Each structure stands twice: as C-alpha cells, then as structure tokens.
Amino acid sequence: MARRKIIAGNWKMNMTPSQAVALCDTLKDLVVTDEADVVYCVPAIDIIPVVEAVKGTNVEVGAENLYFEDKGAYTGEISAEMLVDAGVKYVIIGHSERRDYFKECDCLLNKKVKQALKAGLIPILCCGESLEQREMGVTMDWIRLQIKSDLTGVTADQVKGMVIAYEPIWAIGTGKTATTEQAQEVCKGIRDCIAEIYDTDTAQAVRIQYGGSVNAGNAAELFAQPDIDGGLVGGASLKADFGKIVNYK
C-alpha cells in the first residue's frame, strides 16, 4: 500500500498572530493538493487564529511542542488536551532545537510521545545527527538510539499512525541539504529500525519525512525517494515557495 505524502511547515518562533493569519491567506490557493497531507506547525499563540484561518481548506494544524502531564501546576506549559480542544491534529516532538537549547532528553520525549498518542494527536517525532556524529560514522547508531528510546512502550498500531522526521542537524537552516542519497539512506535505516523493533507492516505504514533546507528546488528529488514520505520544512514554509514544495511534482 502506497503511503500518503505529508508535507509540514515548522514555523518555529516566527509569525505573530496577525502575521500568521496573513500567511495562511497568502498560501491558501498555493497549497491546494489532493496528493499529500499539508500541515502548518505553528507557535502556540498562533494555533487558534490559524485553525480559524484554515477552516474549510486542506490544511491541518500542528503544534511545535506539548507537555506530558494531563494538567496542573506547570507554569508556561501546554497540555495535549488543550491542543486537541483548540483543533490541533499533529505535534512536533523532539526537534533538535528543543533537544539542544532546552535540553529535552529521550526519557522526556518518550513521555511526550505517549501523552500525545493518548490524546489522539499524531506525533511528528524528530531525530537526526550532528555533523561530528556523521563524520565519526555513528549516524545510524545515534538515530537508532533516539528512535528506540523515544518509542519505548509505544505499540505497533500507534507507530503505524505516526510520522518520524529525519533532520540532520547540520542541514537545518544552513542551506546545506543532505544529498538525496544520504537522506534516503537514513530514512531507510529508520524504517529498518522500526521493522526490527516492531514488524514489517508497521515499518511499511509509518511515514518518514526528511527535513533540513528543503526548498522548491530540491523537494521533488527528495520526495521521490522510496523511503521519504514528504518533508518537514522550516524557512521555506514561511513564504509562497511552500506552495511549490507542496505541489512538488
């Protein structure tokens, strides 16, 4: 069974609420497609206006983070239930910026993945190696460790509905995309890892994105690879070019 492509924008800490609504308006006609799921992962404060702005379109909304507890005294955090109630369908978990700048470890990320799934959100679980790790030849060892730890206690059926994003840290925001071969090789490695932990059906069902300097010029070649089921797009998701990435064929 062919996997449906999923092309998601990760807006990161960009776009005020009014800018967010204006961007949705600019992109509205450009991101229309029957062939892929289109998602905007937006800052928490933009969620409600963006959900409203994309109503009646093919765009779905994602969050960039969540907390793993149900509710309570966790100042500044946002729960899965709040996201669901606001109309969010996806949530990015374990982006390298959260792992690095906010010291989120795999143990925490595992709790977040389970909490998202419990609430009915689809996690977009990120993984990826640093340049030093690639040069040392430990890319796949590192990514396998991330995947195995982050998915501890997650069932095969849950994994089938998830999205995993492979984002080499050295390719994020640098304009330096992984080569198509590098991206395909690691995405296949992730699928093989899922097959080992779970089974072939689960590995064939899970969608694996590539992220890291995806743009209108390189999307078609990347997304044509057998194990790359779309992209997680940073900078280029904030402009009209995102329409070209969504309609990459």
Catalytic residues: 95, 167
Instruction: Determine if 211 is a binding residue for ligand 13P (CB under 6 A).
Output: yes
The residue (of 127 and 236) whose beta carbon lies closer to ligand 13P is: 236
> Out of 24, 109, 151, 233, which residue is the one contacting ligand 13P (CB under 6 A)?
233
The residue (of 97 and 106) whose beta carbon lies closer to ligand 13P is: 97
Closest CB 98 distance from ligand 13P, rounded Å? 10
Contacts to ligand 13P from residues 62-121, by CB under 6 A: 95
Instruction: Determine if 232 is a binding residue for ligand 13P (CB under 6 A).
Output: yes
The residue (of 47 and 236) whose beta carbon lies closer to ligand 13P is: 236
> Out of 59, 61, 172, 178, which residue is the one contacting ligand 13P (CB under 6 A)?
172
By CB atoms closer than 10 A (0-12, 13-18, 19+), residue 75 is exposed
> Out of 79, 158, 213, 218, which residue is the one contacting ligand 13P (CB under 6 A)?
213
Q: Which stretch binds ligand 13P (CB under 6 A): 107-115, 189-197, 208-216, 221-229?
A: 208-216
How many residues bind ligand 13P, per CB under 6 A? 14
The residue (of 198 and 212) whose beta carbon lies closer to ligand 13P is: 212
SS (H, E, C) the chain: CCCCEEEEEECCCCCCHHHHHHHHHHHCCCCCCCCEEEEEEECHHHHHHHHHHCCCCCEEEEECCCCCCCCCCCCCCCCHHHHHHHCCCEEEECCHHHHHHCCCCHHHHHHHHHHHHHHCCEEEEEECCCHHHHHHCCHHHHHHHHHHHHCCCCCHHHHHCCEEEECCHHHCCCCCCCCHHHHHHHHHHHHHHHHHHCCHHHHHHCEEEEECCCCCCCHHHHHCCCCCCEEEECHHHHCCHHHHHHCCC
Q: Which stretch binds ligand 13P (CB under 6 A): 101-109, 134-142, 151-159, 212-220?
A: 212-220
Question: Could you count the other beta carbons within 10 Å of the beta carbon of residue 94?
Answer: 29
Instruction: Determine if 128 is a binding residue for ligand 13P (CB under 6 A).
Output: no
Instruction: Determine if 10 is a binding residue for ligand 13P (CB under 6 A).
Output: yes
Return residues touching ligand 13P (CB under 6 A). 10, 95, 167, 172-173, 211-214, 232-236
